[in-house]
Amino acid sequence: VLMENVCPNSCGWTSRTKRPLTIAVEGNIGSGKTTFLRNFEHLKNSTIIPEPVARWCSVDGRFNLLQKMYENPRKYSLALQTYVQLTMLQNHRAPVSTDFKLMERSLYSARYCFVENLFRSNLLSEVETIILDEWFEHLITTECCVVDLIVYLRTDPAVAMDRIKKRNRDGENTVSMDYLNSLHDLHEEWFAGRSSFPMPANCVVLDANQDADLVKRDFIEYVKNHDFGGG
Ligand code: DCP
């Protein structure tokens, strides 16, 4: 009897189920990921996975963990990154019935950009980083965490800062230029293949300093020149 190759995480995919083509949208805080994803909401063959940030702001309906982390990063960075990893995993695992699945961020940028940045700035200790990393390495061995394409919305940190100020999210008033610059550098090194972290998928880099319409135009141009199947 042939055993069906069921995902050990019982996420609903089997070797007989077609995995959706999964696209993760990455970029600094304020690079316009949410706005970019809104462009595809009307497509019948695509599912947009809502960003988990709302959950980070309301853990158990009571704790704004994102705000707590910005107020006291030494105390709350591990808690936030643990929760980010859980909610991202849930997004990777979320089964969809469409050909395409578009996610805001992924487990990969959480580890390679955010956790790395907190570690380098001594806001996560070495042992905390090792534990997050062991979880991460374990999680990405499963098929549900496979990403096919990463869209990098590249922005100057100053442009990202302007957008963050305009939207005025609770807690983010303490985001500094230094913080944005270091996150930017980590994204840049990763996408340029200059970091020690691997790129888990093909990637496309878009100039996201531009207006949202032009970013969308550039992406559509990229898609036209590449075969993604499904139309
Ligand atoms: N964040 C974090 N650790 C992570 C991921 C995000 O501390 N691993 C924080 C940074 C922001 C908030 O969570 O304060 C949301 O960041 P995102 O970049 O994921 O989402 P944005 O809403 O800022 O994206 P955009 O403006 O591009 O739509």
SS3 109: helix
Beta pairing partners, 21:
100
Q: Where are the domains of the chain?
A: 21-224
Determine the pLDDT at residue 1. Answer: 42
DSSP conformation class of 145:
G
Atom of ligand 1 nearest to the CA of 28: 18
Which sequence positions are flagged as catalytic?
A: 104
Residues near 15 by Cβ (< 8 Å), separated by ≥ 6?
4, 5
Q: Is ipTM over 0.90?
A: yes
- Please give the share of the chain, as a percent, with pLDDT higher than 90: 87
Give the span between the Cα atoms of 72 and 215, in whole angstroms. 35
Give the span between the Cα atoms of 204 and 219, in whole angstroms. 8
Q: Does domain 21-224 have CATH number 3.40.50.300?
A: yes
- Whether pLDDT at 194 is above 80: yes
Residues 105-164: tens digit of each pLDDT: 999 999 999 999 999 999 999 999 999 999 999 999 999 999 999 999 999 999 999 999
Q: At what angle do helices 157-167 and 177-191 cross, to 10 degrees?
A: 130
Mutate to test the pocket of ligand 1, among 25, 29, 80, 103 (most ligand atoms within 8 A of CB): 29
